[in-house]
Amino acid sequence: MNGSLHPPPPQQTLHGRIREDLRERIVRGVLQPNDRVPSESELMAQYGVSRITVRQALGDLQSACMIFKVAGKGSFVATPKPFQDLAQLQGFAEAMNASGHETFNQLLQLRSEPASAAVAQALALARGVPVTAIQRVRYLDRRPVSVDFTWLPQSLGSRIRRDDLATRDIFAMLETDLATPLGHADLAIDAVPAAADIAAHLDIDPGTPVLHIERLTHDRDGRPIDYEHLYCRPDQFQYRLRLHRA
């Protein structure tokens, strides 16, 4: 009789074992970015399995963007995706430049417009009052990674300089130029199919899933000052967050 109250763990599949062994080698740095992964024949001999099993393992790692294949040459370790830590209230350029990445913005729109019902509610304004609307495409290492829509109260947005929007974060301008210290932000995250205009800016097909972030940032006194909708390419960029159990 089995004295354990818990059933034994399920046995790992052969391709799962190979996948996890390779994943561990990549995570631990035994295999570095752009290193060649052992060939299918080498893995077949090492684990005593069929080619189909090896290809399943490699396919899982490729789907997870941990390796990439080069025709006629084999599989190689992928470069880790750049990421931004959502536990810190930072601008995109602030986070990426600190990691050694190149960023710049393509300004699509900077104008005054009447606040829609959603924008007015977010910024605690009356519907129809003028707000500053900003639309940008954010580039990371010369590749488009997000389309950002931002609305600011006119008292702040009217003082934003067009030339600064190509290279600087709005957060940095609010704090440094407009003497408006940031306090906290509320976020909602989901996945949505890319609309045609978003897809065109991100160089993807319409309907491709993108990460959508709705963010409302408040100043140090708790007043809402920056309302945003961000549409990000998940294949080029990550958001990360560390959670602690209460």
* CA 60 and chain centroid, separation: 21
Segment 191-202 shows an average pLDDT of: 96
Q: What is the pLDDT of residue 87?
A: 76
Q: What is the pLDDT of residue 97?
A: 77
Which 8-state DSSP code applies to residue 164?
G
| Residue with tokens 């790692």, as numbered in its chain | 61
CA distance linking residue 34 with residue 67, whole number of Å: 9
In order of 26, 113, 148, 195, 237, the CA distances from 117 in angstroms are: 48, 12, 19, 21, 31
Tokens of 134: 């900003």
Give pLDDT tens digits for 141-172: 888 999 999 999 999 999 999 999 999 999 99
Segment 51-57 shows an average pLDDT of: 94
Q: Residue 124 pLDDT > 90, yes or no?
A: yes
Q: What is the pLDDT of residue 196?
A: 97
Supply the mean pLDDT for the chain. Answer: 89
Helix orientation angle between 51-63 and 40-47, rounded to the nearest 10 degrees? 120
How much is the pTM? Answer: 0.70
Q: Which domains does the chain carry?
A: 14-77 (1.10.10.10), 83-240 (3.40.1410.10)
Tokens of 186: 């509320």
Give pLDDT tens digits for 58-107: 998 888 778 888 888 999 998 777 777 777 888 888 877 776 778 899 99
Q: What is the pLDDT of residue 5?
A: 52
Q: Residue 235 pLDDT > 90, yes or no?
A: no
Residue 9 pLDDT class (50, 70, 90 cuts): very low
Q: What is the pLDDT of residue 72?
A: 87
CA distance linking residue 52 with residue 183, whole number of Å: 54
Give pLDDT tens digits for 204-229: 999 999 999 999 999 999 999 999 99
Q: Hey, is 181 helix, strand or coil? A: coil
